[in-house]
Amino acid sequence: MRSFPGAPPVNRSKYHAKKTLFNGVMYDSQREADVARTLELLRSATDPSVRVVKIERQVHFELQPPPERIVYRLDFRITRADGSVEHIEVKGFETPSWRIKKKLMRQKYPHITLKII
């Protein structure tokens, strides 16, 4: 992508995701910001199985300890009013490294189910 003189720089990742600001937080992509917007709207839901009471961003899970440390950074962990917890990963497409981390995540944390958007 070419930039024109005087134009602000465009911050894109190596996968061409456009960083997006929502609610004072910079998200790695427009899609991730859209998911955050939806989760914020669910804070006002009346059904306890739908209403979100807690949103955690960029939750880290250690998949392999040092010296070859591998960490998985989950996009969102939400807690609903009924006490259920949901783990959400926002993906444009699957990369080879993400497939490996997903497999390691399933092995080390089998009780966690990832919802991939």
Q: pLDDT value at position 92?
A: 84
Q: What is the pTM of this model?
A: 0.81
Instruction: Give residue 58's pLDDT band: very low, low, confident or very high (50, 70, 90).
Output: very high
- Using DSSP's 3-state secondary structure scheme, residue 107 falls into helix
Percent of the chain with pLDDT over 90: 71
Domain segments of the chain as ranges: 20-116
Mean pLDDT of the region 58-78: 94
DSSP 31-93: HHHHHHHHHHHGGG-SSTTT-EEEEEEEEEEEEE-TTS-EEEEEEEEEEETTS-EEEEE--SS
| Domain 20-116 architecture | 3-Layer(aba) Sandwich (3.40)
Instruction: Please state, as a whole number, how many other Cβ atoms lie within 10 Å of the Cβ of residue 95.
Output: 12
Mean pLDDT of the region 14-24: 82
Whole-number mean pLDDT of the chain?
88
Instruction: Give residue 13's pLDDT band: very low, low, confident or very high (50, 70, 90).
Output: low
At 68, list the tokens: 């070859």
